[in-house]
Structure 1
């Protein structure tokens, strides 16, 4: 398998980043959903949010790399079987996913730094609080984070269903390309 994308297939770098992001979104959503129900006396009360923030900031770094990679190594050409509407839906859908991802991560950062404290990423390094002056920053960012997270997970599910539809109904190699097996 090649590292870079080709005109017919995704390369290993694009595939790995895609699946890392997909796994991280599911893990972060599940962790976030679970941790909001923790009580002050739970042993996970402080640990779960620290893990959530750390994974979220690492995901932000991966997404910045992923966007950069899209400019350096364009994806495979659209399949000939995909009409104009499918191509448009693909572009819009990917745009919504990217905007949703960045919206969730930026709002999470704004929640976590609203009090002016930096965020420790697994005690490896600190991410400073750069924006702290938005009125009701924590509350507003919290609402944005919650609603965007739900929207992102729902839209990601639709994205997965679309891939399965292409694979099982249309019988085209869309899903195989993201599994690195389009030639299989």
Structure 2
């Protein structure tokens, strides 16, 4: 099993980062969607947002690493059967996924720290506010967070549909390259 990408396939590290981020983003969206309707007297009223923030902060660090890894390692070449417009759309979609993930994370951070407080990450460490108290910041950041997460989850659905289209209709290796790591001979 190859850790690095090859011209034909993604390596183990790229695949693991992809799926960890995918599950974290979908899980955070589901948790956020569920927790906004919790009442003050619900047992999860404080616990769910703490978990949401903690995972979001850890995901931010992982996304920084993923972005650096993507910039440092070469990507597999597009599959020969892909049309130029498909390759271009895929590149734009991937770029938008990165922008939306970072927008959602930064806006979520700003919601939680707009009053000057820090975020405790599972009690392991605290991430301080970089803005201090800014009146109304949580409302603006809240709107950005709301719309960026909905846009993100919509784009994730389109991304998944595209992968399934390539797998079941085009019968090419698009999805397979993100499931099986490159071999040393690739």
TM-score (norm 1): 0.96
2:2 paired with 1:7 = no
Q: How does 1:28-47 map to 2 (within 5 A)?
A: 28-47=28-47
Instruction: Give yes or no for contact 1:54–1:121 (8 Å, CA) kept in 2.
Output: yes
Instruction: Give yes or no for contact 2:163–2:175 (8 Å, CA) kept in 1.
Output: yes
Q: In structure 2, what is the equivalent of residue 61 of structure 1? A: 61
Cα separation, 2, equivalents of 1:176 and 1:182: 10
Q: How does 1:23-172 map to 2 (within 5 A)?
A: 23-132=23-132, 134-172=134-172
Instruction: Give yes or no for contact 2:120–2:127 (8 Å, CA) kept in 1.
Output: yes
Structure 1 stretches (4+) deviating beyond 2 angstroms? 132-135
Quick check: 127-136 or 103-112, which moved more? 127-136
Instruction: Give yes or no for contact 1:108–1:142 (8 Å, CA) kept in 2.
Output: yes
Instruction: Give yes or no for contact 1:176–1:182 (8 Å, CA) kept in 2.
Output: no
SS in 2 for 1:80: coil
Instruction: Give yes or no for contact 1:10–1:177 (8 Å, CA) kept in 2.
Output: yes
Q: In structure 2, what is the equivalent of residue 17 of structure 1? A: 17
- Structure 1 residue 132 displacement after superposition: 3.3
SS in 2 for 1:45: helix
Instruction: Give yes or no for contact 2:12–2:181 (8 Å, CA) kept in 1.
Output: no
Instruction: Give yes or no for contact 1:8–1:77 (8 Å, CA) kept in 2.
Output: yes
1:29-68 deviation digits (Å, cap 9, x = unpaired): 1100110000111111110000000001111111100000
- Structure 1 residue 182 displacement after superposition: 7.2
Alpha-carbon RMSD across the aligned residues, in angstroms, is 1.3
Instruction: Give yes or no for contact 2:15–2:179 (8 Å, CA) kept in 1.
Output: yes
Query: What are the ranges of 5 or more consecutive residues in structure 2 without an aligned counterpart?
Result: none
Instruction: Give yes or no for contact 1:4–1:10 (8 Å, CA) kept in 2.
Output: yes
In the comparison of the two structures, how many residue pairs are matched? 183
- Structure 1 residue 77 displacement after superposition: 0.7
1:104-137 deviation digits (Å, cap 9, x = unpaired): 0000000010010110001111111002355410
Cα separation, 1, equivalents of 2:101 and 2:164: 22
More contact order relative to length (CA 8 Å, sep ≥ 6): 2
Aligned in 2, Cα 1:66/1:101: closer, same or farther, shift over 3 Å?
Answer: same
